Amino acid sequence: MSAIPQADIERAIRTTAATVLRNEHYFSDLDGLAGDGDFGTSLATGFRVIDNEWGEIDKSNIGAMLLKISMLVSKHVGGSSGPIWGTGFMKAAMLTRGKEEISLDELAEMLGAAIEGIQARGGAKLGDKTLLDALIPVHETLKGHCAAGDKAAALKDCAGVAEQAIDETRTLVAHRGRASQVGERSANTPDPGIVSIAVILNDWCKEFGIANTPTVAEVVNQPA
Amino acid sequence: MKKFVNDPAKFVPEFMKGIALANPDLLDFNEEFQMVTRKSGPSSSKVSIVQGSGSGHEPAHVMAVGPGMLTAACQGAVFAAPPVDACYETIKAAASDAGVLVLVNNYQGDRMAWDMATEMATAEGINARQFWINDDVAVEDSLYTVGRRGVAGNFFVMKACGAAAEAGASLDEVEAVAKKVNDNVRSMGVALTSCIPPAKGTPIFELGDDEIEVGVGIHGEPGRRREKIHSADAITEELFEAVSSDIPFKSGDRVAIMVNGLGGTPITELYVIYAKAHELAEKAGFTVVRNYVGEYCTSLEMAGASLTILKLDDELEKLLAAPAETAARIF
């Protein structure tokens, strides 16, 4: 079965919140290498609200739930991450209005729409050393799994691709966000946005009982 | 710092509550979204006009809600864009079959919040559009902007659009009015002192006792240059030259002139500036048809002023003269 019920999406969001909260200082420390060191705290501030208000969030359908998440993220995640992550959730929400389950194809469409929205909002493109450098290859990988429809295999491959993105972008110079202001100094540091996507997908594998062994240092070394 | 403040975190909802209590027949106040709406609500046959930005610029923008002006407005914290959900709820509260025009001053935070809110409202089936205001000639890019900042000229956009909507203009027509005003209005400000956001408790920038910041932004952003203070006339000449040379305005133009106080300057000093600005306008061959002297877009208690000139035509003159009732009033 390739259908993804709303309950799984709820689990994924709660797992994401737990991941972000556990890695608050770790993500900020990574950001401090080239950026302004607020990424972990900014993200955690927003996801802490989602965690605390989880019971009151409208879960009548996937779209309604994601729209509320989008608003909470936009409102409470600090800095530029708020509108960027919030836009991602908003675009996903718009494609799932009234739905209580989605197919793998629909998940790929949601991610595609989220990527387009994030690009439009922040102006970044592939190779600018932002979280898009993880999301875009993950989207391609996800699309490749749609025909076969094996959710577990898709998630495992996506987690692997996101991990690779950390290594593939490590030597790049950031062109967007605060890290772009330090120019060459951003080379040879991992982008915390990319790391966060890899860590979140790795934690989704754990949550859904999918065997996945991380190999890239930033994912291996995340706090337990 | 000496201020009339209880808890700095409650400063915005407390002053908004005061505005609502002082205008019980005119306004409703929603504390959760820091939103003020017209008591009469939106009209299904008329375009609604909304705006929202950081607090600290009053009477812009919550005090500009009322018949003939805005339909609804929301406020963020002092100098911080309102959150997306407040913007979204404000558009929803103003939803009209005739459409909603969102007037946004050109700052990145405000634009992002209203972009998202407008997209969300559109997905809900509300016919909403945005228009960006950028009248400040001081600098091309600034601390919080790509492109020029939106400042006191915003008042004319709100007033003209509000009047056009009240008269039954379509969304396209109201948007065209916004564009016409924005294309023909220019402003620049000067600061004599900094200002103190209540939650910060200290001045947002330092300015020497004998210094002025020419071209200052309404959040204390740097302007064109810092100078030693000189006479009111010399400062007014500097502002007039910068503003009037920008479009440029030309001899024979019919204009509205606004001298706007930034929050900490007495009205008498604003009239000293107005007298010189009026004289300079006549000398340049402009006909001053309307004038505005007072506080329209402030920066907390900053001492300073801005000069705005708007080129008029018959349509704009009529729209500016149309009646409106808002919390900002002088009688």
CATH number for the domain harbouring residue B73:
3.40.50.10440
- Partner-chain contact A90 B115, CB within 8 Å: no
Q: Can you give the residue range of the structural domain that contains A137?
A: 4-220
Residue A52, φ and ψ in degrees, nearest 5: -70, -35
Cα distances from A69 to residues A93, A103, B89, B184, B185, in angstroms, run 9, 21, 15, 41, 40
Q: Cα angle vertex B30, ends B28, B32, to 5°? A: 175
Is residue B74 assigned to a domain?
yes
- Partner-chain contact B123 A71, CB within 8 Å: no
Q: Of B209, B160, B214, which is closest to residue B184 (Cα–Cα)?
A: B160
> Does B88 contact chain A (CB < 8 Å)?
yes
B137 and B234 co-located in one domain: no
Regarding an ipTM greater than 0.90, the answer is no
Cα distances from A53 to residues A16, A69, A183, in angstroms, run 15, 10, 39
B57 and B148 co-located in one domain: yes
Q: Tokens 């932004």 label which residue?
A: B217
N residues, chain B: 331
Lowest mean pLDDT across A5-19, A187-201, B159-173: A187-201
Q: What is the pLDDT of residue A123?
A: 82
- For residues B106 and B132, the answer to whether their CB atoms sit within 8 Å is yes
What is the spatial distance between Cα A127 and Cα A134, in angstroms, rounded to a whole number? 10
DSSP string for B18-75? HHHHH-TTTEEEETTTTEEEETT---TTS-EEEEEEEESSTTTTGGGBSTTSBSEEEE
B80 and B94 co-located in one domain: yes
B172 and B223 co-located in one domain: no
* A110 Cβ contact partners less than 8 Å away, ≥ 6 residues apart: A91, A92, A95, A96, A102
Per-residue pLDDT of chain B (331 residues; tens, 9 = 90+): 789 999 999 999 999 999 999 999 999 999 999 999 999 999 999 999 999 999 999 999 999 999 999 999 999 999 988 999 999 999 999 999 999 999 999 998 899 899 999 999 998 899 999 999 999 999 988 878 789 999 999 999 999 999 999 999 999 999 999 999 999 999 999 999 999 999 888 999 999 999 999 999 999 999 999 999 999 999 999 999 999 999 999 999 999 999 999 999 999 999 999 999 999 999 999 999 999 999 999 999 999 999 999 999 999 999 999 999 999 876 6
B171 and B202 co-located in one domain: no
Q: Which letter does DSSP use for residue A130 in this model?
A: S
**Of the residues B142, B159, B183, which one is the last residue of a structural domain?**
B183
Sheet holding B185-191: strands in order across?
A: B225-228, B211-214, B185-191, B304-311, B254-261, B287-294
Cα distances from A47 to residues A9, A72, A132, A184, in angstroms, run 15, 8, 20, 32
| CB hemisphere CA count around B296 (13 angstroms) | 25
pLDDT per residue as tens digits for the range A52-108: 999 999 999 999 999 999 999 998 887 778 889 999 999 999 999 999 999 999 999
Q: Which residues in chain A have their CB less than 8 angstroms from residue B119's CB?
A: 90
Q: Tokens 């491959």 label which residue?
A: A157
* B223 Cβ contact partners less than 8 Å away, ≥ 6 residues apart: B138, B139, B188, B189, B190, B191, B213, B214, B215, B216, B217
Q: Of B79, B78, B75, which is closest to residue B17 (Cα–Cα)?
A: B75
Q: Of A142, A163, A167, which is closest to residue A153 (Cα–Cα)?
A: A142
Is residue B299 assigned to a domain?
yes
- Partner-chain contact A121 B123, CB within 8 Å: no
Specify the CATH number for the domain of residue B203.
Answer: 3.30.1180.20
- Partner-chain contact B123 A97, CB within 8 Å: yes
- Partner-chain contact A86 B115, CB within 8 Å: no
CA distance B216 to chain A (A): 24
Is residue B158 assigned to a domain?
yes
Q: Given a cut of 70, is residue A131 above it in pLDDT? A: yes
* B238 Cβ contact partners less than 8 Å away, ≥ 6 residues apart: B190, B214
> Does B122 contact chain A (CB < 8 Å)?
no
Q: Which member of A75, A94, A121 has the closest CB to residue B85?
A: A75
CB atoms within 10 A of CB A11: 14
B103 and B172 co-located in one domain: yes
B167 and B197 co-located in one domain: no
- For residues B17 and B6, the answer to whether their CB atoms sit within 8 Å is no
What is the spatial distance between Cα A8 and Cα B234, in angstroms, rounded to a whole number? 68
**pLDDT (mean) for A9-21:** 97
Quote the number of domains for chain B. Answer: 2
Q: What is the pLDDT of residue A219?
A: 94
Instruction: Report which secondary-structure segment, H or E, holds B10.
Output: none
Q: What is the pLDDT of residue A67?
A: 94
- For residues A29 and A60, the answer to whether their CB atoms sit within 8 Å is no
Q: Cα angle vertex A89, ends B91, A111, to 5°? A: 135
For the record, the structure tokens of A35 come out as: 């950026």
* A102 Cβ contact partners less than 8 Å away, ≥ 6 residues apart: A3, A4, A9, A62, A96, A110
- Let me know if A22 is exposed, middle or buried by CB neighbors in 10 A (0-12, 13-18, 19+): middle
Read off the amino acid at residue B319: L
Is residue B172 assigned to a domain?
yes
Is residue B80 assigned to a domain?
yes
Is residue B329 assigned to a domain?
no
For the record, the structure tokens of B198 come out as: 């209540």
**Of the residues B183, B213, B239, which one is the last residue of a structural domain?**
B183
* Percent of chain A with pLDDT strictly greater than 90: 77
* For testing contact with chain A, the best of B35, B90, B107, B112 (most A CBs within 10 A): B112
Q: Which residues in chain B have their CB less than 8 angstroms from residue A75's CB?
A: 83-85
Q: What is the pLDDT of residue B143?
A: 79
For the record, the structure tokens of B28 come out as: 């409703």
**Of the residues B159, B183, B207, which one is the last residue of a structural domain?**
B183
CA distance B124 to chain A (A): 9
B79 and B165 co-located in one domain: yes
DSSP string for B86-135? HHHHHHHHT--TT-EEEEEES-HHHHHHHHHHHHHHHHTT--EEEEEE--
> Does B288 contact chain A (CB < 8 Å)?
no
B174 and B303 co-located in one domain: no
What is the spatial distance between Cα B298 and Cα B311, in angstroms, rounded to a whole number? 23
Q: What is the pLDDT of residue A1?
A: 57
CB atoms within 10 A of CB B267: 13
Q: What is the pLDDT of residue A121?
A: 86
Quote the number of domains for chain A. Answer: 1
Q: Can you give the residue range of the structural domain that contains B60?
A: 8-183
B218 and B153 co-located in one domain: no
What is the spatial distance between Cα B265 and Cα B191, in angstroms, rounded to a whole number? 10
Specify the CATH number for the domain of residue A135.
Answer: 1.25.40.340
* β-bridge mates for residue B213, sequence order: B191, B226
Cα distances from A38 to residues A24, A44, A133, B133, B199, in angstroms, run 9, 10, 20, 31, 20
What is the spatial distance between Cα B161 and Cα B92, in angstroms, rounded to a whole number? 19
- Go through B160-186 and write b for each residue having 16 or more CB atoms within 10 A of its CB, e for each that does not: bbbbbbbeebebeebbbbbebbbebbb
B235 and B279 co-located in one domain: yes
- Partner-chain contact B85 A67, CB within 8 Å: no
Interface of A with B (CB under 8 A): 67, 70-72, 74-75, 83, 86-87, 90, 94, 97, 121
B21 and B144 co-located in one domain: yes
> Does B147 contact chain A (CB < 8 Å)?
no
